[in-house]
Amino acid sequence: MPDKDERKVTPRSQDFAAWYNDIVLRAELADYSPVRGCIVFRPDGFAIWESLRDELDRRIKRTGARNAYFPLFIPQSFLRKEAQHVEGFAPEVAAVTHGGGQELEEPLIVRPTSETIIHHMFGQWIHSYRDLPLMVNQWCNVVRWEMRTRMFLRTTEFLWQEGHTAHATSEEAQRETLTILELYKSFVEDFLAIPLVVGRKSAAERFPGAEETYAIEGLMGDGRALQCGTSHFLGQNFAKAFEIKYLDEQNQLQYAWQTSWGVSTRLLGAIIMVHGDDQGLRLPPTVAATQVVIVPIARKPEEAASVLAAAKQVCESLESAGIRVRLDSRDGLSPGFKFNDWEMRGVPLRIEIGPRDVAAGQVVFARRDLKGPAAKSTAPAAEAAPRASVLLGEIKQSLYQQALAWMQRETREFQTYPELKKQMEGEGGGGFASVFWCGSPDCETRIREETRATCRAIPFNQSHPAGTCIVCGEPASERAFFAKSY
């Protein structure tokens, strides 16, 4: 009979990448596939994706977008219609050249993104200003032939959501782009408890074919940034390539203005890397498949029946309150093993019930977000459900505040280029560097080549006095966040 959890993980401070892989595997979120670069989602991992997918889907629909589905295969000629787009995705494209035992007349691209096929259909559907705005969203898989992969963060095949809209005016399209950006920000911060830096991308980091790209960026536990979502103002580039025209109210033919936006299963990686610790996952209650686990503790056979009966009663009260709860009545496992097992899986709240608790009519709560005596509290068994609801709300807020404090500690302003280079030295992350940048591609390239840090976001609020570029010393009106990234 096991009396302790043998599934130890590599300490985060020792090897963050190994720690991350250990968590994914040992918390049973995913496993390696026999196909290079692909992963198998295990039920616990897919449950997290379902929770965030369902909530985000509700929010997207409130903006007026409706779900649709477009083919996995795209004619190669479609990808060539927008020059910047094909150039940006060419290194990652996978193609089908044979089907039914014969070589195809035209190779089919396995979608790396769906702009081209969707815009082809928009060209068939849009004829008049009355057809606008046209707003669709798609939940699907995409394929990008990655050279170096990491589970959830960068895989050959991954799951995502991609929205595509067409509008009558530039102003409408730009407003939609920023509306979705704000939707993503509130979703990731409020629902996933991950604090963010928000802003526009530099030209070098812009989505291929877009006029502007805006992003939400999180800071992971190793000090590296992760792009958690993007929203693109496409202008009329794709409309002109795919002949998306409409007759306006003056009966004049116009090109539509467009947007696209998306998030992916990278968000699962963000949850792990922002909130996890050396004991395993720490899941925000909003996405946890099991929000509360009840562990009955009976060391003597004669105690088991009364303890289990009390645990079942508490379990029923939590279920009636709409809380996702599990009763761990597994035989042959010690309480310590069960505690470690559920901590590894990131369950936000544990309820312990032993003979003394039954006699006292109480339960013991143990929070996953805290350590030591502060994590434990008691409540009358009759009040377990309302107390659990309160604690789950506190846990989500606590995880956010812990992550925010970390991001603020690891965000620094630099005045000189040598200071920036020193901060980014070595294999570690280095955090967010807030620096004045003149906007020159040459200065951006130098930072990237010499520090491996890239421009993650140029914040909207630039209320500070002007400064000088950290690289060339020329006047600079904007600060930008640079960081090493995934």
Which pLDDT value is given to residue 5? 45
Domain ranges of the chain: 16-275, 292-391, 411-483
8 Å CB contact between 40 and 49? no
Q: Which helix (H) or strand (E) holds 235?
A: strand 225-235
Give CA–CA dist 88/104, Å, rounded: 25
Give CA–CA dist 36/23, Å, rounded: 20
Which pLDDT value is given to residue 6? 52
The angle at the Cα of 114, spanning 175 to 134, to the nearest 5 degrees, equals 40
pTM over 0.85: yes
Distance of CA 316 to the CA centre of its chain: 33
Which pLDDT value is given to residue 136? 98
Which pLDDT value is given to residue 1? 38
Closest by CA to 367, choosing from 306, 279, 442, is 279
Give CA–CA dist 283/193, Å, rounded: 9
8 Å CB contact between 158 and 263? no
Which pLDDT value is given to residue 267? 98
Please count the CA atoms within 13 angstroms of the CA of 203 that sit on its side-chain side: 9
CATH number of 16-275: 3.30.930.10
Q: Which residues contact 6 (CB under 8 A, 6 or more apart)?
A: none
Give CA–CA dist 148/156, Å, rounded: 9
Q: Which helix (H) or strand (E) holds 67?
A: strand 66-67
What kind of architecture, by CATH, is found in domain 292-391? 3-Layer(aba) Sandwich (3.40)
Q: Which CATH superfamily is domain 411-483 in?
A: C-terminal domain of ProRS (3.30.110.30)
The angle at the Cα of 25, spanning 19 to 26, to the nearest 5 degrees, equals 85
Which pLDDT value is given to residue 293? 98
Closest by CA to 313, choosing from 362, 272, 276, is 362
- Establish whether the linkage from the previous residue to 133 is cis, with ω within 30° of 0: yes
Give CA–CA dist 102/99, Å, rounded: 5
8 Å CB contact between 393 and 409? no
Name the β-bridge partners of 1.
Answer: none
| Token digits of residue 348 | 């936000």
Which pLDDT value is given to residue 83? 61
Give CA–CA dist 179/104, Å, rounded: 42
Cβ neighbours around 285 below 10 Å, total = 25
Give CA–CA dist 323/289, Å, rounded: 10
Q: What are the per-10-residue average pLDDT scores of the chain (486 residues)?
A: 59 96 97 94 98 98 98 91 66 91 95 93 97 98 90 96 98 98 98 98 94 98 98 96 96 98 98 97 98 95 94 98 97 95 98 97 98 97 98 98 98 96 88 97 97 96 91 96 97
